[in-house]
């Protein structure tokens, strides 16, 4: 049985083709600059990387070429081998509490919810429509980033603002990266052979969120109404006092959208360090005994402080934690980041093994045997989660 996982952006389409018998990726790739000059695709198969510049005027072109290449490169014998297509969908508001078969109603809802994810929902619809056109008889499944967080209780998801904002305008915490947090919870529960775990899942990449999970369900999460909230990120501020917005509007003559744009694109590591949004550059600059070094240090310290604060908050909320998991770009790869966060948590009895913590991109326990809490690095796999949900629903 073969399933394709799709992540459609406004000008890109990522795919992974899975053999569901062994849950392994057969081929994966990316179609880029769809509808823009200089479009191309890259397909990875059998240890080889095939890249070609080719005109892609829309997502349907990309899907047609993708399916054609899968056959002509002998990755599959015919399109009949594709049993299902799973789509990563970003915003399902509070209507979609789990993955579902994609119907016209789902597509209409994605369009109706577009104000909640203006960059993502319309792009997701383009991906769905392209597959519907090219593979009309193959079932499609939608896997929402927001769905996993739908188990939060009112006191977690409500903001302390007029209740009518929630009732009339849907102002509440939705949370994101849900498919990744769900994958982390499933993987660590299977590894430890327990379903009753208290897990703090730290998905820290360019964007990042921390989620408190109890018995496999989300209790609270750091991102909010939008992915701007929570921890400090590569270019996003995370939580700030909202009064800063009107103050800066007046001081710098900007409108509200422009200030939000700065909070999304020019803040976080980039804003505070004035060096880079990439933790690798920050860590490299921290070694300098000059102005660059102190800029990098202040960004690193603020970053790790905000992550520590959320872990500490969720430790209390959960009444302790069995496992803290690190995943995504920084979580999987950045030794100094994990070291600092865990040092900050030492008063809770969290201890890591500095040798084990050198791990990059591999599943590994990094806590010492006398640590109060297990600490693991768990590489995330949202594509596999999408394929597994698709398999379950098409069966
Ligand atoms: P996204 O949120 O866009 O999916 P990723 O999860 O791929 O991002 O994370 C990308 C970020 O991870 C980079 O911006 C960088 O800060 C960080 N990162 C990746 N590799 C390393 C590394 N080896 N050391 C430190 N940081 C890393």
| pLDDT tens digits, 143-193 | 999 999 999 999 999 999 999 999 999 999 999 999 999 999 999 999 999
DSSP 138: S
Q: Are 227 and 221 in contact (CB under 8 A)?
A: no
Size of the chain, expressed as the number of residues it contains:
395
Q: What number of helices (H) and strands (E) belong to the chain?
A: 14, 14
pLDDT band at 119 (very low <50, low <70, confident <90, very high): confident
Of 329, 340, 360, the one to substitute when testing ligand 1's pocket (max ligand atoms within 8 A of C-beta) is: 329
pLDDT score for 31: 97
pLDDT band at 51 (very low <50, low <70, confident <90, very high): very high
Closest ligand 1 atom to residue 203 Cα is 6
Distance from Cα 205 to the centre of ligand 1, integer Å: 5
> Per residue in 231-273, pLDDT tens?
999 999 999 999 999 999 999 999 999 999 999 999 999 999 9
Distance from Cα 211 to the centre of ligand 1, integer Å: 19
Q: Whose CA is nearest to atom 14 of ligand 1?
A: 278
Distance from Cα 328 to the centre of ligand 1, integer Å: 7
Per-residue 3-state assignment (H helix, E strand, C coil) for 177-208: CHHHHHHHHHHHHHHHCCCCCEEEEEEECCCE
Distance from Cα 11 to the centre of ligand 1, integer Å: 22
Q: What is the mean pLDDT of residues 6-11?
A: 94
User: pLDDT averaged over the chain?
Assistant: 97
Question: Above 90 in pLDDT, residue 328?
Answer: yes
Q: Whose CA is nearest to atom 21 of ligand 1?
A: 333
Show the beta-strand stretches assigned E in the chain: 2-8, 13-19, 24-32, 40-45, 48-53, 82-89, 100-101, 140-144, 198-204, 208-214, 217-221, 323-327, 364-365, 374-377
The answer to whether 94 is a known catalytic residue is: no
Closest ligand 1 atom to residue 328 Cα is 6
Q: Are 85 and 135 in contact (CB under 8 A)?
A: yes
User: What is the number of alpha carbons within 13 Å of residue 39 lying toward its C-beta?
Assistant: 19
Show the beta-strand stretches assigned E in 116-261: 140-144, 198-204, 208-214, 217-221
Tokens of 108: 């209409």
pLDDT score for 49: 97
Distance from Cα 330 to the centre of ligand 1, integer Å: 5
pLDDT band at 296 (very low <50, low <70, confident <90, very high): very high
Closest ligand 1 atom to residue 208 Cα is 2
User: For the chain, what percent of residues have pLDDT higher than 70?
Assistant: 100
Q: Are 270 and 167 in contact (CB under 8 A)?
A: no
Of 290, 310, 294, nearest to 231 by C-alpha is: 310
Distance from Cα 149 to the centre of ligand 1, integer Å: 23
Give the contacts of 362 (CB within 8 A, at least 6 positions apart): 377, 379
Residue ranges and CATH numbers for the domains of the chain are 2-144 (3.30.420.40), 193-382 (3.30.420.40)
DSSP 270: H
Q: Whose CA is nearest to atom 7 of ligand 1?
A: 329
pLDDT band at 118 (very low <50, low <70, confident <90, very high): confident
Q: What is the pTM of this model?
A: 0.96
Q: Which residues line ligand 1 (CB under 6 A)?
A: 205-207, 234, 278-280, 328-330, 333-334
Tokens of 221: 């999460």
Provide the 10 A C-beta neighbour count for residue 165. 14
Coil, strand or helix at 235: coil
Q: What is the mean pLDDT of residues 122-133?
A: 95
Question: Above 90 in pLDDT, residue 101?
Answer: yes
Q: Whose CA is nearest to atom 19 of ligand 1?
A: 329
Side by side, which strands form the sheet with 2-8? Answer: 48-53, 40-45, 24-32, 13-19, 2-8, 82-89, 140-144, 100-101
- Candidates 61, 109, 145, 389; catalytic one: 145
d(CA 142, CA 140): 7
Q: Are 271 and 228 in contact (CB under 8 A)?
A: no
Q: Whose CA is nearest to atom 27 of ligand 1?
A: 330
């Amino acid at each position: 049985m073969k399933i394709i996982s799709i992540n459609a952006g406004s000008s890109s389409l990522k795919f992974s083709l899975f053999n569901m018998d062994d849950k392994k990726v057969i081929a994966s790739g990316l179609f880029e600059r769809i509808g823009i000059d200089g479009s191309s695709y890259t397909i990875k198969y059998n240890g080889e990387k095939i890249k070609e510049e080719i005109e892609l005027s829309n997502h349907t072109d990309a899907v047609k070429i993708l399916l054609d290449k899968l056959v002509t490169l002998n990755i599959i014998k015919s399109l009949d081998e594709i049993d299902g297509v799973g789509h990563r969908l970003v915003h399902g508001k509070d209507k979609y509490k789990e993955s579902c078969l994609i119907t016209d109603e789902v597509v209409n809802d994605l369009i109706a919810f577009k104000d909640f994810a203006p960059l993502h929902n319309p792009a997701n619809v383009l991906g769905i429509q392209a597959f519907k056109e090219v593979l009309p008889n193959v079932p499609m499944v939608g896997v929402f980033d927001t769905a996993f967080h739908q188990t939060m209780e009112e006191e977690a998801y409500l903001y302390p603002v007029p209740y009518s904002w929630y009732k009339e305008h849907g102002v509440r915490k939705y949370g994101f990266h849900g498919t990744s947090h769900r994958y982390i919870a499933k993987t660590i529960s299977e590894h430890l052979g327990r379903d009753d775990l208290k897990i703090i899942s730290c998905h820290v990449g360019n964007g990042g969120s921390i989620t408190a999970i109890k018995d496999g369900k989300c209790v609270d999460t750091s991102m909010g109404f939008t992915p701007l909230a929570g921890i400090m990120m590569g270019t996003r501020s995370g939580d700030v006092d909202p009064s800063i917005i009107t103050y800066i509007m007046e001081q710098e003559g900007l409108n509200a959208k422009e200030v939000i744009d700065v909070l999304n694109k020019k803040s976080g590591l980039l804003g505070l360090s004035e060096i880079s949004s990439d933790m690798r550059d920050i860590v490299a600059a921290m070694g300098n005994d000059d102005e660059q070094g102190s800029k990098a240090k202040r960004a690193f310290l603020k970053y790790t402080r905000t992550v520590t604060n959320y872990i500490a908050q969720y430790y209390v909320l959960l009444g302790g934690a069995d496992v803290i998991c690190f995943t995504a770009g920084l979580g999987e790869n950045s030794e100094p980041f994990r070291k600092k966060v865990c040092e900050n948590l030492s008063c809770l009895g969290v201890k890591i093994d500095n040798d084990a913590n050198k791990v990059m991109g591999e599943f590994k326990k990094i806590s010492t045997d006398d640590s109060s809490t297990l600490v693991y690095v768990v590489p995330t796999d949202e594509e596999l989660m999408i394929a597994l949900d698709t398999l379950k629903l098409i069966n």
